């Protein structure tokens, strides 16, 4: 134990008494603000909390769970770490190049400390913001992190909270910002003891995970504080630069002020006291520009949001996959709409949802406010076999998609290993206890059947069992692939595209204009033109610009004409 004292704060508005249980001894907690109880414990103390005569349980605001989600909490002093990033001014992550990684599969060791050793690779690539998939504790050792239950802690298998501080500090030392994926729309199915202490849930609404987080029912103020204080804690005490808010469309909230608007308001209030810029980024499938519009105009005040339609349009165009949620995507005309207008479903009919969906994005809304990608954990990992586009597509088609992504006006995001064209899968994996694990396995198979994956995998494919250790191991990156010439060539291509993005669009870009033919697609973004020929037939395109600054394949220009071989891409400027 370090000798420092840590304030333990419990929200239990219906309790008559509360206790911290240390070595079997019940230590009374002090009533504080209405509904809250506090006690000071020495840093390093293992403890449980109890109300009235109930059984002791882990702290819902635990900073560390060294014995797993069912074991005692540990008092952790976040102020004990000596930061080295005071001279780093930070960056505006909106418009920067993001790189999403899963700590457990990013390196062979699967820890935050081992991930530090790969940060120089990201710097050389040209990445500016590292996005971590959720790091809060979840059942078992391996998982995606979206089943977390201790939202104030860091998963012990990743190294715990001290390791996260070291990782962020090391990233800042290299000029990299860190974005943390946080989940406020549900708790995981195992190890969630928060409802023992307070009404964290309500039967007023239903969600895919059961009863909804209590955002608008009796005693909801304490839940809203739990969420907002959690976000502020990551920004202040762990120096996180941005938060990616998972699936905000599942935050069912009929209060006068939506929880997202309240969160953005409370983060705005602390921005002047923070030493560097911070951002809130929402994952939303609602296709509503109000997500990033200011609160004064009725918006949620988010700094940015993910835009799945751009991914769907580009993926379906390149792969010809038009099943499931890709059903309204595929033609070049739809890709054109996505790149120019952001949302394909902007009030139009969504066949997959069987209803009209979304709203138009104003032309003057900064396109950097939309995060786009050709791969991410969902779009790869939720495929039946976790297969990446590189498995199916010729390298030239992948290169063309990367050029449209990285030279677009949006905020681009890459997914671990994408930059060298890895064909390693990223699968859905869990480490639940046997009974829950069996239910997860059955649910995964049912989900597969509901998404028409047979259209690409054929009948009765062998879907990997999420519970199998091999499913996790097969999802780990193989860094030795960088020594293979095809992978090295793809890595050089990504580096060149990012270099061009930094050169031509150092503060972001504006509108794009697109057109297309039977065998080609063109995007004009300011001084840069991208033309891709993703299919098996060569193309000839009339083009005013003749200076090639990057190319995949032996493209040539002559007399205001660009000739592209099959499976190629070219970037031109004046």
Query: Is residue 18 marked as binding?
Result: no
Instruction: Determine whether the annotation assigns residue 309 to a binding site.
Output: yes
CA atoms within 13 A on the CB side of 416: 27
| Cβ atoms within 10 Å of 117's Cβ, excluding its own | 12
Q: Is 522 helix (H, G, I), strand (E, B) or coil?
A: strand
Q: Is 246 annotated as a binding residue?
A: yes
Q: Kindly tell me the sign of the dihedral angle through the C-alpha atoms of 196, 157, 168, 301.
A: negative
Other Cβ atoms closer than 10 A to 112: 26
The pair of three-digit structure tokens given for residue 281, joined into one six-digit string:
């980024």
- Does 185 show up as a binding residue in the annotation? no
Beta strand 411-415 pairing with 513-516: unpaired
Residues taking part in catalysis: 246, 283
**How far apart (Å, rounded) are the C-alpha atoms in residues 188 and 183?**
10
- In whole angstroms, what separates CA 97 from the centre of its chain? 13
- Helices 485-504 and 395-406: angle between axes, nearest 10 degrees: 20
Asked whether 399 and 531 are in contact (CB, 8 A), the reply is no
446 annotated to bind ligand:
no
How far is Cα 29 from Cα 390, in angstroms, rounded to an integer? 56
Please indicate if the annotation marks 308 as binding a ligand: yes
Nearest of 465, 440, 445 to residue 138 by alpha carbon: 440
**378 annotated among ligand-binding-site residues:** yes
517 annotated as ligand-binding = no
Q: How far is CA 434 from CA 69, 140, 253, 495, in A?
A: 16, 11, 34, 44
Say if residue 310 carries a ligand binding annotation. Answer: yes
Rounded Cα distance, 388 and 400, in Å = 15
Residues forming beta bridges with residue 74, ordered by sequence position = 46
Q: Is 54 annotated as a binding residue?
A: no
SS (H, E, C) 212-281: EECCCCCCHHHHHHHHHHHHHHHHHHCCCCEEEECCHHHCCCCCCCCHHHHHHHHHHHHHHHCCCCCEEE
Element (H, E) at 30: strand 30-31
Which residues lie below 8 Å from residue 91, measured CB to CB, with a gap of 6+? 128, 129, 175, 177, 241, 276, 277
Q: How many Å apart are CA 426 and CA 446, to the nearest integer?
A: 19
Structural tokens at position 523: 């995007």
- Residue 359 annotated as lining a ligand binding site: no
Tell me: is residue 250 an annotated ligand-binding position: no
Task: Write phi, then psi, for 41 (nearest 5 degrees).
Answer: -125, 145
Torsion of CA 143, 145, 150, 153, to 10 degrees: 100
Is residue 379 annotated as involved in ligand binding?
Answer: yes
The CA distance from 510 to 529, in Å, is 13
DSSP H or E run through 574: none
451 is in an annotated binding site: no
311 assigned ligand-binding residue: yes
Phi and psi (nearest 5°) for 286? -80, -15
Q: Which two tokens stand for residue 360?
A: 């138009």
Instruction: Tell me the C-alpha distance between 102 and 228, whole Å.
Output: 24
Binding residues: 244-249, 308-312, 377-382
Binding residues for substrate: 244-249, 308-312, 377-382
């Amino acid at each position: 134990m370090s000798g420092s004292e840590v304030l333990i704060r419990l929200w239990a508005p219906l309790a008559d008494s509360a206790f911290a249980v240390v070595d079997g001894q019940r230590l009374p907690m002090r009533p504080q603000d209405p509904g809250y109880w506090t006690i000071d414990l020495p840093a390093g103390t293992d403890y449980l909390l109890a109300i009235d005569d109930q059984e002791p349980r882990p702290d819902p605001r635990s900073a560390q769970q060294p014995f797993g989600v069912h074991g005692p909490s540990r008092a952790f002093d976040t102020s004990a770490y000596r930061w080295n990033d005071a001279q780093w001014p930070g960056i505006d992550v909106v418009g920067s190049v993001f790189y999403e990684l899963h700590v457990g599969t990013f390196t062979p060791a699967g820890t935050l400390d081992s991930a530090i050793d790969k940060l120089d690779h990201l710097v050389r690539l040209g990445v500016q913001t590292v996005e971590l998939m959720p790091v809060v504790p979840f059942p078992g050792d391996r998982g995606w992190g979206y089943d977390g239950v201790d939202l104030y802690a860091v998963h012990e298998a990743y190294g715990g909270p001290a390791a996260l501080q070291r990782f962020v500090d090391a990233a800042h030392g290299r000029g990299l910002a860190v974005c943390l994926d946080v989940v406020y729309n549900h708790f995981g199915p195992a190890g969630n003891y928060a409802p023992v202490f307070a009404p964290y849930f309500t039967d007023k609404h239903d969600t895919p995970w059961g009863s909804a987080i209590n955002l608008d029912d009796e005693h909801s103020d304490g839940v809203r504080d739990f969420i907002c204080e959690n976000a502020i804690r990551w920004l202040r005490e762990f120096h996180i630069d941005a938060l990616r808010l998972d699936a905000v469309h599942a935050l069912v909230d009929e209060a006068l002020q939506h929880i997202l608007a309240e969160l953005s308001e409370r983060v705005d209030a602390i921005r002047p006291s923070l030493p560097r810029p911070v951002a809130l980024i929402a994952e939303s499938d609602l296709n509503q520009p109000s997500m990033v519009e200011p609160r004064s105009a009725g918006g949620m005040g988010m700094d940015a949001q993910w835009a799945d339609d751009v991914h769907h349009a580009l993926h379906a165009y390149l792969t010809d996959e038009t099943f499931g949620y890709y059903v309204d995507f595929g033609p070049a005309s739809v890709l054109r709409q996505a790149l120019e207008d952001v949302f394909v479903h902007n009030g139009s009919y969504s066949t997959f949802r069987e209803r009209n969906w979304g709203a138009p994005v104003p032309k003057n809304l900064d396109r950097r406010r939309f995060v786009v990608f050709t791969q991410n954990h969902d779009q790869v990992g939720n495929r039946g076999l976790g297969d990446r586009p590189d498995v199916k597509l010729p390298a030239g088609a992948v290169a063309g998609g990367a050029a449209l992504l990285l030279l677009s006006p949006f905020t681009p995001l890459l997914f671990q290993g994408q930059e060298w064209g890895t064909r390693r899968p990223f699968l859905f994996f869990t480490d639940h206890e046997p009974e829950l694990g069996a239910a997860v396995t059955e649910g995964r198979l049912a989900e597969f059947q509901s998404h028409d994956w047979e259209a690409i995998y054929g009948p009765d494919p062998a879907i990997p069992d999420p519970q199998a250790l091999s499913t996790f191991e097969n999802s780990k990156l193989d860094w030795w692939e960088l020594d293979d010439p095809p992978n090295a060539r793809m890595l050089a291509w990504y580096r060149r595209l990012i270099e061009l993005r930094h050169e031509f669009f150092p503060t972001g870009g504006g509108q794009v204009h697109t057109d297309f033919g039977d065998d080609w697609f063109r995007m004009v973004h300011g001084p840069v033109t991208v033309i891709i020929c993703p299919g098996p037939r060569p193309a000839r395109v009339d083009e005013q610009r003749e200076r090639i600054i990057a190319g995949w394949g032996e493209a040539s220009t002559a007399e205001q004409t660009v000739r592209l071989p099959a499976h190629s891409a070219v970037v031109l400027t004046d």
